[in-house]
Amino acid sequence: MQKLLPLLFPFFLLTSSLQLQQFTLLTLTSQSVHQNQVTNQSNFSLPIYHISSFSNHTNNTSTFADRIHRDSARVASLAHDLSLPLDRYKLTDFGSDVVSGLSQGSGEYFIRVGVGTPAREQYLVIDSGSDVIWLQCIPCDQCYSQSDAIFDPSTSASFSAVTCGSRVCHLVSGTNCGSSDESCGYMYEVSYRDGSYSKGVVALETLTFGSTAVSGVAIGCGHRNHGLFTGAAGLLGLGWGPTSFLTQLGGSAGGVFSYCLASRGSSSEAGSLIFGRTEGVPVGAVWVPLLHNPRAPSFYYVGLLGLGVAGVRLPLEEDMFQLSEDGYGGVVMDTGTAVTRLPQQAYSTLRDGFIAAAVGLPRTSGVSIFDTCYDLNGYSSVRVPTVSFYFTEGAILTLPARNFLIPVDNSGTFCFAFAPSPTGLSIMGNIQQEGIQITFDVANGFVGFGPNTC
């Protein structure tokens, strides 16, 4: 079985005044709401696990097929939802019929979180495109199978129902509250385009990350849940909205979180997720401004100006990636999408430029959503042209080979891991983010690409 190994220089961060690397080496082997309190420390980290940790599949072919199935569903959902009229997004995260960034119940990356007092560990999907925090709870009228025992709020000393006097209730529309001491009693519903959903009540609970406990976190306690969530108990929303986990932390984390998604085939079994400015902001990072889209306020948009192959910028109009004044188009950074999607013209130009520069690589037929694949069976290493993102303010991110040529079977087939978008929306997927320390300084409105790798 062919698979990737870590490269010596996983990525290169340059400015437009520097000469870009033209080729890289692909090495192969033979196979808070305001009342939140944080105890112990204000900067804390925890490992991130890929969904393959929960999979019974032992070969690239089945793993690839599952990943593309999830990916296509999510992209279809994002493309649909980000093209809806603006008033479609007036519902808050715990409102009725909320649609998060997660279109397929499974998700891609998980973290281990202690829920309640005493803490009972659960796997939660991390989603940078959602503000929802929820998990399955007893009594469970309808629940799917998960890796751990379903959380029972009656056994937690820190679980409390949300009252009408709570700020959480005022973030939710249609609660029909009476006195301030009355239970909010609001039934939340989170739905996904594939038919998955979670329904339950809003409550406050303590979440524990390693030795750090965060109290008073607004969560959804799901009593009716359905979907292919692959072992996870629920979801931790990290989006740019009022009820995301980062927002609820308030000043405790300085408005900063950072993650590094472990590369496929690396020696590290897990990546890392860090909350807090002290450890979360890497020295030497290159920073790109975040863009806010009122049409999709939970998502993190970035300003992309162009693309490059082999150190040469491609002839693309800069407005191809522009976020319009009415909220259409633009470039979203997303942990839940695997393969980067680009507008058709941008994708075609990038693909053709790569093919032209990849002289001598043996082509083979396309696989699934990929139309550009290579037969690398029997090779120990190959020299391939680099691929670069040109961001605003002069920042350039040049990817290693492993972040754009990926194995799709056990026979040495590697494919160019980009695909056309069904709309003008571009999505920077997690394959292109792997192995890079990415920091969201939401308080100051920047995303940083750091030199540290995992």
3-state secondary structure string, the chain?
Answer: CCCECCCCCCCEEEECCCCCCCEEEEEECCCCCCCCEEECCCCEEEEEEEHHHHCCCCCHHHHHHHHHHHHHHHHHHHHHHCCCCHHHHCCCCCCCCEECCCCCCCCCEEEEEEECCCCEEEEEEEECCCCCEEEEECCCCECCCECCCCECHHHCCCCEECECCCHHHHCCCCCCCCCCCCECCCEEEEECCCCCEEEEEEEEEEEEECCEEEEEEEEEEEEEEECCCCECCEEEECCCCCCCHHHHHHHHHCCEEEEECCCCCCCCCCEEEEECHHHHCCCCCEEEEEECCCCCCCCEEECEEEEEECCEECCCCHHHHCECCCCCECEEECCCCCCEEECHHHHHHHHHHHHHHCCCCCEECCECCECCEEECCCCCEEEEECEEEEEHHHEEEEECHHHCEEECCCCCEEEECEEECCCCCEEECHHHHCCCEEEEECCCCEEEEECCCC
Residue of 71, 93, 334, 441 marked active site: 334
Q: Which position has the higher pLDDT, 175 or 328?
A: 328
287-291 average pLDDT score: 95
pLDDT digits over 52-111, tens only? 665 554 455 556 666 666 666 666 666 656 654 433 222 222 111 122 223 333 457 888
81 assigned to active site: no
Of the two residues 298 and 229, the one the predictor is more confident about is 298
Of these residues, 71, 81, 127, 441, which one is catalytic?
127
pTM of the model: 0.81
Query: Is residue 4 very low, low, confident or very high in pLDDT (cuts 50, 70, 90)?
Result: very low
- 127 in catalytic set: yes
Q: Considering the chain, what is the average pLDDT of its residues? A: 79
